[in-house]
Amino acid sequence: MIAYAPYLILLLPLLAAVSIRLFLYPFPRISVSVSTLACLGSFMGSMALLFWGSSLGQGIVPALPWIEWGGFRANFGILGDPLARGMAALVSGVAFLVHLYSIGYLEKDPCRSRFFAELSLFVFSMLGIVLADNLISMFIFWELVGLSSYLLIGFWVERPAAGAAANKAFLVNRIGDFGFILGILGAWALFGSVTFADLPGRAAASSPGWAVTAVGLGLFCGCLGKSAQFPLHVWLPDSMEGPTPVSSLLHAATMVVAGVYMLVRVLPILEMSQATMMTIAWIGGWMTLLPALLACQQNDIKRILAYSTLSEIAYMVMAVGLGVAGPAMYHLTTHAFFKCLLFLAAGSVIHGCHDEQDIWKMGGLGKRMPFTAFVTILGTLALCGIPPLSGFWSKDAIFAATAHHPGLAAVSMGAGFFTSFFMLRMILVAFGGEPKNDAARHAHEGSIFLTAPMALLAVLTLVGGLLPVESYLHFQHPEAHETWTLWISLLVALAGFVPAYFLYRQATKDPISIPVLREKFYVDEIYQRVFVSPQDAFARLTDAFEGWVVRGFLVRGSGVVARASGQGLRLVQCGQVQIYAAVFILGVFLLLGWLWRQG
Amino acid sequence: MNFGEVTLGHYLALSLLLFLIGLAGVILRRSLLVVMMSLELLLNAANLALVAVGKFHGLPDPQVAVFFVITVAAAEVALGLAILVAIFRIKRTTAVDQMASLRF
Amino acid sequence: MIRWFCPEVLLVLTGVTLILADALIPPGKKEWLPRLSILLGIALFIFTIWQSGQPMPEVWANLFVTDGLSLVFKPFFVLCLVGVTLISVRYPMGREEVVRTEFLALPFFSTAGLCLLASARDFLAIFVALELVAISLYLLAAFHRSRAASLEAGMKLLVMGGLSTGFLVMGIAWLYATAGSTEFSRIILEQAGRPASPALLFAVGLILTGLAFKIAAVPFHAWAPDVYEGAPTPITAFLAIASKAAGFVLLLRIFCLGAFALDSVGWVFRPILLTMGIATVTLGTLAALPQRNLKRYLAYSGIAHAGYMLLALGTWGESGMGTVAGYLWAYLLATFPVFIFVQELERVHGNADMRHLDGLAQRDPGPALGLTLCFLSMAGLPPLLGFSAKLSVFTALWSAGEIPGLVVGVIMAVVGLGFYLVPIRAMYWEREPDVVPAQRFPSFLVWILLLAGAAQLILGFQPRPLVRLVEKSLAPMVSGNLQGK
């Protein structure tokens, strides 16, 4: 019986979500503690599994028989390999910190029972993705994660933008999921199994061909949607309409990297086709650069971070495309720490400034919120890959993998330049200079619930590079480590700070910054020519894509289909029973005509 | 004049003809009463075919089946007339095309 | 002795008893009759389940057979009856309060017909049983005589049903003409190993028409939305679930196991069923999008579900048959609770317009949760039962190599998600209307809804019990009662 205990990791958050929704809904304080304690329980369970799981050995958790229809068979089991155990600990740990943070962040919200129920649902489904031992059950949790993301983005129901963003996220994800399910079906058809344990063997036994490429690309589609990669990335910036803890947990640290985790799981399939791997690597490569460019012109603090998230996930995708799963998972781990930290800090700023998100209306927060400023800088340094912070080690591992692909190295290192640029811009504008309005002037640090999680994450960000990742990721730092990638990437990243410093140091001093900017006209000119126009063009392109494909085709398209089918119905479904009879008889004649042709 | 022997084919053709007339009546006639009569015609066309088949193949079963069909048809008609009367009470008409409030 | 008390006999006896009681008991003292009918229904359900475990004579005078399919689906139909009776007693009949007992008794007769259908193995028996079902339903659909809509629904059902009966009887006549018998085993013996004659195909085509009407497959579907909307809600539920299921049980028995389980026939009719399935799925899904009346919406949703089942049937394999049998149970579990709710909506608001759902989650979270689970299950979202059902349709299509059907099915499943989200969105994200009726949902119905929702979840995760049921329903037939022992 004790062998079934690991299922508790999954069940606790589910029980919390259900009990809150059914019974505890009117008692926010109890709901909050139940949800948080459930998450803590999951975390402790995951830690126990992480440390002692290896002595139990793999496959010790018995699988529950699940679907057996026809020739189809799938179990519902928990995966016990180090990767899953490490990831589960990471997810539940970060989730627990975000739970704590949310207690402070939403202390005045009357609907926080609903929030915590949905958060618990998310933790349940995310852990489900991580621990799933086959593609079918992973897909189910994949959808549940999509559902909880939808609910959480739209948490503030009174904001129309939140509803729109939730819808957009859901719809765009459906496109990816469509490819994903086709990929799963294809994998089942090709290899006869959807269990992760079987896949490497089955894949090695089968021959490569277009079908394998198609299956790989289908599975990658799922990643495109969930991890917000081009061309399905449009939902992530909008999802920032949700509460900040949600952005931090779902849209930075855990959910959006589920796509990368899934790619690592199906890597044996992907590796069979060079075309698939190159597609993944190049989409990842370009996606490191483009969002970084976009972020340079954002004014909303959360959107800046959202674009940076797009860019960082792209590093992981690129690493998977290059066939190095270890560095991808390593970066996933460190990214979870420092990006979660950055978002929580942003939330703290927003909370402190009374729901102000525009960095140009903040300013001077460094003095009023010294702790938040400190952790933001720490997170930024980690994000930019400055040693000895955690981000440096993981990014370096990825850059080392690009050593033999100069093109990818160039794009991804270029992205590092802009990352440094916009992060410093954000810090200088928001934390430096003088306050721009009363809200910023009266900004203050939040309660212990806000600061404590940040402090913990800051420590993790600091020492994340020392984590014994090799043991659970099975990856060594590449033996033939070509140091040029290390030095160039570091130099480029540091170079990114320089223009930002010169551009925005001045801008923060004076709230009416336009004349000051005009004095440094030629710098702006270069900046405009080199960065903004392509970026505008890109923005226009993505906007056109969004406008035509997402809004036009999906949202309005469904309306058009509805109207058209309504019109079509009016012709037949006119209420006249004799028309129905005529259609019926016509149907009979059609059928008999078919028979006549056949027989 | 000799039309040749009357075969099973003739009966079946006649029954199909009756059936088609019934179908036309169901689609085209305006009065619900006549529509129901046309529905009865469909069943009677089938009855004709049954009897003819029974006779020519020397089978008793089809001819027994006719009794079942007649019974069912009677029940259907009784019910149909009841509905017709109820509709007439409310709508003051038996025109089928006046009963089209449920649609789309 | 006990073997003569099969469900059909008991159902008819119960119906007669109810009507006699209504006639004999003086007015004013009959309040307990509705409750009695519910109790009798439940007792019958338990009896049917008990009896399905007992050894039974396999063949009754070559007309009826007791096999897995009938043993599994008789409880299905009686369960539908219990549900219908449960909500019939709450149907707001208005002035016709007096004749309510007939409203409760007639479904018993109709269910007797359904149970006969489940075990009929002779087309003549099928015809009589079908008419027993249909005539009771004509009457029930038109039962609310003071409502023009109900009468119109009855009229439409009568005309279209009469039409389909005409085709069915004509088909039977032609079957006599070509095969010389209507008994399944004799037809099989007669026709096996021969190419199918055109006249036989003609007869099968006409009979298929009659059954396609029952399941509301395109293009024989046009009656369904109108009749569903106009008929009293319990009857709509009966039509949508029990009557449709009977159509599928018959199709299974006729095409896969019984009379026409012949290669010569299957070769011709397989593509027809698949094409019909594709058309039905597409029309049902697209037409449901603009609907604003819940009953019409459920009608189109039911049409779409029938399309999926037709696709599974069209694969002509054992897995396809099992899928149909399992899908029917999933459909019952997901759809019936929604009908329960629709009737409560009608009690309060007088109609089943979807806007009455606005803000339901705030004022009545329990039913909203149950309904959401049901709708999501209908949409086929994992991990609910509907997902397993759809998945097995798709796997059956895949392994049969029916790629066009698979592609259309998957696309329509995605589109369908759009319209199943409409009521959910209304319940959770729309604002409450200004005037909120004071009437609350009775708590036992809330529990039924929640239980049904929980069942979707549990069976979605662990469909074992259902799988075992499906296996049971197919097992004896596959082993060969084809030869008609």
- Which pLDDT score, from 0 to 100, does residue A55 have? 56
Considering only CB atoms, which chain B residues are within 8 Å of C169? 42-43, 46-47, 50, 69
Do A453 and A399 share a domain, yes or no?
yes
Q: Closest approach of chain C CAs to the CA of A134, in angstroms?
A: 14
Do A537 and A456 share a domain, yes or no?
no
Q: Is residue A396 part of a domain?
A: yes
Q: Do B35 and A576 touch (CB under 8 A)?
A: no
Residue A570 in contact with partner chain B when CB distance is under 8 A? yes
- Which pLDDT score, from 0 to 100, does residue C485 have? 32
Among A519, A542, A571, the domain-final residue is A519
- Which pLDDT score, from 0 to 100, does residue A482 have? 63
In sequence order, what DSSP letters do the residues of A110-148 get, joined into one string? TTHHHHHHHHHHHHHHHHHHHHBSBHHHHHHHHHHHHHH
Cβ atoms within 10 Å, residue C422 = 18
pLDDT top residue among B75 and A77: B75
Do A437 and A498 share a domain, yes or no?
yes
- Which pLDDT score, from 0 to 100, does residue C364 have? 83
Do A560 and A513 share a domain, yes or no?
no
Q: Is residue A447 part of a domain?
A: yes
Count of structural domains within chain A: 2
In angstroms, rounded to a whole number, what is the distance separating the alpha carbons of residues A165 and A156?
11
End-to-end CA gap in chain A: 63
Domain span at residue A573 reads: 522-598
pLDDT < 50 positions in chain A: 479-480, 510-528, 530-532
Do A363 and A477 share a domain, yes or no?
yes
Given a contact cutoff of 8 angstroms between Cβ atoms, the answer to whether C223 and A580 are in contact is: yes
Tokens of B19: 């059936």
Q: Which CATH architecture has domain B8-98?
A: Orthogonal Bundle (1.10)
Given a contact cutoff of 8 angstroms between Cβ atoms, the answer to whether A365 and A431 are in contact is: yes
In angstroms, rounded to a whole number, what is the distance separating the alpha carbons of residues C284 and C102?
33
Tokens of A217: 């690309």
Helix and strand counts by DSSP (H, E) for chain A:
28, 2
In angstroms, rounded to a whole number, what is the distance separating the alpha carbons of residues A336 and A344?
12
Q: Do B28 and A578 touch (CB under 8 A)?
A: yes
Considering only CB atoms, which chain B residues are within 8 Å of A573? 103-104
Q: Closest approach of chain B CAs to the CA of A598, in angstroms?
A: 21
Q: Is residue A139 part of a domain?
A: no
* This prediction's pTM: 0.64
Residue A587 in contact with partner chain B when CB distance is under 8 A? no
Q: Closest approach of chain B CAs to the CA of C272, in angstroms?
A: 23
Q: Is residue A229 part of a domain?
A: no
**pLDDT, tens digit (0-9, with 9 covering 90-100), for C234-275:** 999 999 999 999 999 999 988 877 666 777 888 888 899 999
Cβ atoms within 10 Å, residue C474 = 23
Q: Which chains touch B (3 or more CB pairs under 8 A)?
A: A, C
Residue spans per domain, chain C: 273-479
State the DSSP H helix or E strand holding residue A64, giving kind and residue range, or none if neither. Answer: strand A64-69
State the DSSP H helix or E strand holding residue B56, giving kind and residue range, or none if neither. Answer: helix B32-57
Do A347 and A483 share a domain, yes or no?
yes
Among A519, A535, A560, the domain-final residue is A519
Q: Which chains touch C (3 or more CB pairs under 8 A)?
A: A, B
- E-only strand ranges, A246-382: none
Q: Is residue A87 part of a domain?
A: no
- Which pLDDT score, from 0 to 100, does residue C109 have? 95
pLDDT < 50 positions in chain C: 1, 477-485
Q: Do C163 and B69 touch (CB under 8 A)?
A: no
Out of A574, A581, A582, closest to residue B100 by CB: A574
How many Cα neighbours within 13 Å face the side chain of A328? 28
Q: CA dist A329 to A332, A408, A413, C309, Å?
A: 5, 19, 19, 43
Q: CA dist A303 to A5, A238, A437, C452, Å?
A: 41, 8, 21, 42
- Which pLDDT score, from 0 to 100, does residue C245 have? 96
Do A484 and A396 share a domain, yes or no?
yes
Do A550 and A469 share a domain, yes or no?
no
Do A536 and A444 share a domain, yes or no?
no
In sequence order, what DSSP letters do the residues of C254-308 get, joined into one string? IIIISTT--HHHHHHHHHHHHHHHHHHHHHHHHHHTT--BHHHHHHHHHHHHHHH
**pLDDT, tens digit (0-9, with 9 covering 90-100), for C77-115:** 999 999 999 999 888 876 555 557 889 999 999 999 999
